[in-house]
Amino acid sequence: MDPPPSDDGSTADARAGGYVFVLELATLETAKVGKGYAVLNCDDHANFIRRHGKQPGDYRPDICHQALLSILDSPLNKAGKVRGIYVNTQKNVLFEVSPKTRLPRTFKRFCGLVAQLLQKLSVRSSNGPEKLMRVVKQPVTRYFPAGARRVGFSFSAPEVKRLPEYVRALPEDATVVFTVGAMAHGKVDVAYTDDFISVSKYPLSAACCLGRICNALELKHDIV
């Protein structure tokens, strides 16, 4: 896990390099359905969601699940280049995911883990005391290393960039923060990004976008 924030809110300077990923506007909301609490999703809880005056299509925790797997399964992460992963929900709950986490492969088990996280505020490793997932204080910028480059991604961004060329131009020894939306529709609108770009002239899923980012960084660092 990253070191605790210093007095100015940052965790470290950016000289060590590496990459931080932020998933914004994730639809991870728990509610008491039947006898227990569950993470609401459009397939299993459509009637419950409609009864509360909301649209089932807005409840897509599977997007966050697939996005996290794209990062955690990447050779970039396995090579130790991912410094931190943060998820910001639409309910403004922020949690940190350790790059060492072995996320459940099935969606049902993932939802069970998230429900446990949102109720108990942390999830520990089964093999020791390390917290693999934990709810942390806002804002997410307090966990960015000082001087980090901050890049946001959206199909609606004014400029399409070729990622391999873009990441090659990034400073070798600086930490870079990549922010991607983890919701069904809409766009990420955060004030903390230095650049705001698109990686394709076509709309991409969060998982596909993250796969492109990780692949471009793997090429940059010759990670096979």
Rounded Cα distance, 200 and 209, in Å: 9
pLDDT above 90 (res 182): yes
Residues 6+ apart with CB under 8 A from 217: 19, 76, 81, 167, 223
CA distance to 16, 44, 92, per residue, from 152 (Å): 21, 32, 18
Q: What is the mean pLDDT of residues 16-29?
A: 92
pLDDT of 209-224, one tens digit each? 999 999 999 999 999 9
pLDDT above 60 (res 4): no
Contact 76, 218 (CB under 8 A): yes
Rounded Cα distance, 171 and 46, in Å: 46
User: What are the chain's domains?
Assistant: 19-221 (3.40.1280.10)
Q: Kindly report the average pLDDT of the chain as a whole number.
A: 89
User: Of 43 and 216, which is predicted with more confidence?
Assistant: 216
Q: Is the peptide bond before 139 cis (omega within 30 degrees of 0)?
A: yes
Rounded Cα distance, 214 and 217, in Å: 5
Q: What is the mean pLDDT of residues 174-187?
A: 90
CA distance to 23, 111, 127, 135, 193, per residue, from 140 (Å): 10, 23, 28, 11, 12
Q: Output the pTM of the full model.
A: 0.89
Query: What's the half-sphere exposure (Cβ side, CA atoms, 13 Å) at 195?
Result: 18
Identify each DSSP E strand in the chain by its residue range.
18-26, 30-33, 36-39, 82-89, 94-97, 122-124, 131-136, 149-153, 175-181, 195-197
Which residue is listed with tokens 């002239």? 201
